[in-house]
Structure 1
Amino acid sequence: MAFKSKLINLLKLIFPSSFIELGIFAFFIICYGILGSYIALNYRIIFDDRIPWDAYFSFDNRSIIMTGGSFERHPLAYYFFNWIRELALLISGGKTNDTFRLTLAWFSNLVISSSIVQVFKYLKNIISLPLFFSLLITFFFGLFSTNIILSFTPENFTYTLFLLTLFNYYAAIKIKKEEKIPAIPLILAGISIGGLTVTNIVKVFIPVVFEKGLFKNWKKFGNAVFRITLTCICFILLYLNRIDFKYKTIFSKTNSQYEKFSNVKSTPIWDMISSYFFGGNILFPSFIIRDKHNMKGFDFKGLFMDVYTSGIPYIFISILLTLILWSYFRNFKNKFVQILMISFFIDIIIHCIMRFGLHTSYIYGGHFVFVYPLLLGWLFYSYKSSPKILSFLTIILGLLFTYLASSNYLRMTEFFWFLNQYYQ
Structure 2
Amino acid sequence: MQKDPNVSKFKTKFVHFLKLIFPSTGIELIVFLFFLVVYGYLGSYIAIHHKIIFDGRIPWDAYFSFDNKSIVMTGGSFERHPLSYYFFNWIRELALLFSDGKMDGNFRFALAWLSNLAVSMSILQVFKYLKNIIGLPLIFSIPLILFFGGFSTTVLLSFTPENFTYTLFLLTLFHHYAAIKLKREQKIPALALAFSGITIGGLTVTNIVKVFIPVAFEKGLFKSWKKFANAAFRVIFTCICFILLYLNRIDFKYENIFSKTNEQYEKFSNVNATPTWDMILSYFFGGNVLFSNFIIRDKHNMNGYRYKGIIMDVYNSWIPYVFITALLALIIWSYVKNFRNKAAQVLMISFVVDILIHCLMRFGLHTAFIYGGHFAFVYPLLLGWLFYSYRQSPKTLSFLTAAFCILFAYLMINNYLRMTEFFWFLKTFY
TM-score range, shorter-chain basis? over 0.9
Q: State yes or no: 1:332 paired with 2:333.
A: no
Q: TM-score, normalised by structure 2?
A: 0.98
Return the alpha-carbon distance in structure 2 between the equivalents of residues 304 and 133 of structure 1: 33
Partner of 1:210: 217
Partner of 1:358: 365
**Where in structure 2 are the equivalents of 1:97-116 lying within 5 Å?**
97-116=104-123
Pick from 381, 390, 402: which aligns with 2:397? 390
Partner of 2:92: 85
Q: State yes or no: 1:150 paired with 2:157.
A: yes
Partner of 2:355: 348
Matched residue type, 1:115: S
Partner of 2:29: 22
The question of whether the paired residues in 1 share the 8 Å contact of 2:182 and 2:342 is answered with: no
Q: State yes or no: 1:405 paired with 2:412.
A: yes
Cα drift, residue 416 of structure 1: 0.3
Which segment drifts farther, 127-136 or 360-369?
Answer: 127-136
Deviations 1:81-118 (A, max 9, x none): 00000110011000000000000000000000000010
Return the alpha-carbon distance in structure 1 between the equivalents of residues 30 and 280 of structure 2: 36
Q: State yes or no: 1:239 paired with 2:246.
A: yes
Partner of 1:316: 323
Partner of 1:292: 299
Helix, strand or coil: the match of 2:297?
A: strand
Matched residue type, 1:389: T
Cα drift, residue 276 of structure 1: 0.2
**Where in structure 2 are the equivalents of 1:112-151 lying within 5 Å?**
112-151=119-158
Q: State yes or no: 1:94 paired with 2:101.
A: yes
Cα drift, residue 335 of structure 1: 1.1
Q: State yes or no: 1:301 paired with 2:308.
A: yes
What root-mean-square deviation, in Å, do the aligned CA atoms of Structure 1 and Structure 2 show? 0.5
Q: State yes or no: 1:255 paired with 2:262.
A: yes
**Number of aligned residue pairs:** 423
Matched residue type, 2:86: Y
The question of whether the paired residues in 1 share the 8 Å contact of 2:62 and 2:308 is answered with: yes
Partner of 1:269: 276
Helix, strand or coil: the match of 1:96?
A: coil
Q: Percent identity?
A: 72
Matched residue type, 1:395: A
Deviations 1:357-391 (A, max 9, x none): 00000000000001001100110011010011111
Cα drift, residue 3 of structure 1: 1.4
Helix, strand or coil: the match of 1:117?
A: helix
Return the alpha-carbon distance in structure 2 between the equivalents of residues 316 and 10 of structure 1: 38
Q: State yes or no: 1:72 paired with 2:79.
A: yes
Partner of 1:48: 55
Return the alpha-carbon distance in structure 2 between the equivalents of residues 113 and 335 of structure 1: 27
Return the alpha-carbon distance in structure 2 between the equivalents of residues 278 and 375 of structure 1: 15
Helix, strand or coil: the match of 2:213?
A: helix
Matched residue type, 2:229: G
Return the alpha-carbon distance in structure 1 between the equivalents of residues 361 and 381 of structure 2: 26
Return the alpha-carbon distance in structure 2 between the equivalents of residues 4 and 90 of structure 1: 32
Return the alpha-carbon distance in structure 2 between the equivalents of residues 130 and 21 of structure 1: 13
Return the alpha-carbon distance in structure 2 between the equivalents of residues 341 and 218 of structure 1: 27
Matched residue type, 1:268: P
The question of whether the paired residues in 1 share the 8 Å contact of 2:358 and 2:365 is answered with: yes
Partner of 2:230: 223
Return the alpha-carbon distance in structure 2 between the equivalents of residues 34 and 331 of structure 1: 38
Return the alpha-carbon distance in structure 2 between the equivalents of residues 139 and 408 of structure 1: 13
The question of whether the paired residues in 1 share the 8 Å contact of 2:130 and 2:136 is answered with: yes
Helix, strand or coil: the match of 2:334?
A: helix
Return the alpha-carbon distance in structure 1 between the equivalents of residues 122 and 23 of structure 2: 11
Cα drift, residue 392 of structure 1: 1.0
Deviations 1:307-359 (A, max 9, x none): 00101101110110000000011111111111111100000000000000000
Matched residue type, 1:154: P
Gaps of 5+ in 2: 1-7
